[in-house]
Amino acid sequence: MPARLEIAFFASSLVSSYWNGAATYYRGMVKALSDLGHRITFFEPDAYERQSHRDLPDPDWARVVVYRPTLDDVHRSLSRAARADLVIKASGVGVFDEVLEREVLSLKGPGTRVIFWDVDAPATLERVRCNPQDPFRPLIPKYDLVLTYGGGQPVVDRYRALGARECVPIYNALDPATHHPVAAQPRFRSQLSFLGNRLPDREARVEEYFLKAARLFPGGDFLLAGSGWGDKQFPPNVRYLGHLGTAQHNAFNCSAGAVLNICRDSMAENGFSPATRVFEAAGAGACIVTDCWTGIEQFFAPGREILVADSGEAVARLLGELTPERCAAIGVNAYHRVMAQHTYAHRARQFEEVLGVGHKATPTLAGVAP
């Protein structure tokens, strides 16, 4: 495999974050890989109104191919990807996923490897566990490698048990060029802010860690952003912004006293699954309060770089104790940690090591320990 790769990447969307929580992960990884000299063509379907809610022009660090959500266009896109050194099928494309999972494997050859990149491994593994006839199950051993963006050793073990040749987590991270400290904006000021779309396996934890905390701390000012919450009943001290484009995330993170991270149920159960927004908030120098999940200390030092709460009561108690000085100190510590260890440049170099390419290449597909 050449040191500089031609990569074909099939995923949900690079240019739109609309109902697409993986957008910043894709952008960070693809841009960092481009910075290392790899050339990426990103194939995404024109689906779910994402193209009408674009928040990124076509970048100069990737070629974006938007195809119609038809079977013919899927096969045309696959034909265009046939000459790539590396073909990546991400989970959750949203259009003809089963076809893509099967057909990308037909592109394997002496000069082409094929990877499955799972951006929601707990959900994928649970689906396969519940349905032994799931068509993806027999395909897993055929991929050269499975990458995930979270889950740690529990997810690695489950994929290996299903026959994966190798499974390596490449975690979320920070792109300092896009997420960084900016001036606070009055409309985003609050004591506690939370940004996240309304999803079935997140809602109960939002009720506990955010809305319950707001009720228990009625003198506080709480701010919620994300899609899908419009018909939800909120305590009077909660303001709702709706969908917030990525261009506004820095000001959102920099304007709050503290920023709340809430895992989805499946991510919390598996642990080792920091959301992209944890690193984005740290990159803005925000004081982060997170719900509990196994492996937090692998990424940030609890109490010094991040605050951990095990209930809505604990969140409310923390808010009552926090001073502006302590919030600022925690934010500074988190910023230094993320810049030292958790940028997409770090992740891109790990990607090269896993594949055995680049300046510090290793000759096998052996995984980097999570």
17 and 164 co-located in one domain: yes
Per DSSP, the residues of 199-267 read: -TTTHHHHIIIIIHHHHH-TTS-EEEESTT-TT----TTEEE-----GGGHHHHHHHEEEEEE---HHH
Please tell me the distance from the alpha carbon of residue 112 to that of residue 167, in angstroms, as a whole number: 18
Digitized pLDDT (tens) for each residue of the chain, 370 residues in all: 888 999 999 999 999 988 898 998 999 999 999 999 999 999 999 999 999 999 999 999 999 999 999 999 999 999 999 999 999 999 999 999 999 999 999 999 999 999 999 999 988 998 999 999 999 999 999 999 999 988 889 899 999 999 999 999 999 999 999 999 999 999 999 999 999 999 888 999 999 999 999 999 999 999 999 999 999 999 999 999 999 988 899 999 999 999 999 988 877 777 788 888 899 999 999 999 999 999 999 999 999 999 999 999 999 999 999 999 999 999 999 999 999 999 999 999 999 999 999 755 433 333 333 2
Structural domain contains residue 159? yes
Residues 111 and 84 in one domain: yes
3-state secondary structure (DSSP) of residue 127: helix
Answer yes or no: is 320 within a domain: yes
User: Are 119 and 158 in the same domain?
Assistant: yes
Q: Do both 198 and 165 map to the same domain? A: no
- Nearest residue to 198 via CA among 4, 19, 318, 344: 19
Cβ–Cβ < 8 Å for 48, 116 = no
Task: Say yes or no: 190 and 122 in one domain.
Answer: no
Closest CA to 41 of 17, 61, 19, 56: 61
Residue 124 belongs to some domain of the structure? yes
* CATH number of the domain encompassing residue 38: 3.40.50.2000
Residue 180: CB atoms within 10 Å: 17
Count of domains observed in the chain: 2
Please indicate, yes or no, whether residues 351 and 219 belong to a single structural domain of this protein.
Answer: no
Residues 26 and 70 reside in one and the same domain: yes
- Whether residue 62 lies inside any domain: the answer is yes
Tell me: do 47 and 153 sit in the same domain: yes
Q: Is residue 207 part of a domain?
A: yes
Does some domain include residue 178? no
Give the whole-angstrom CA distance, residue 120 versus residue 15: 20
Range of the domain at 125: 6-173+346-355
Q: What sign has the CA pseudo-torsion 210, 215, 220, 222?
A: positive
For residue 370, being part of any structural domain is answered with no
DSSP label at residue 118: E
CA angle 274, 151, 155 (to 5 degrees): 175
Task: For residues 351 and 187, give the distance between their C-alpha atoms in angstroms, rounded to a whole number.
Answer: 39
Same domain for 82 and 131, yes or no, is yes
Distance CA 146, CA 12 (A): 18
Examine residue 96 and state whether it is found in any structural domain, yes or no.
Answer: yes
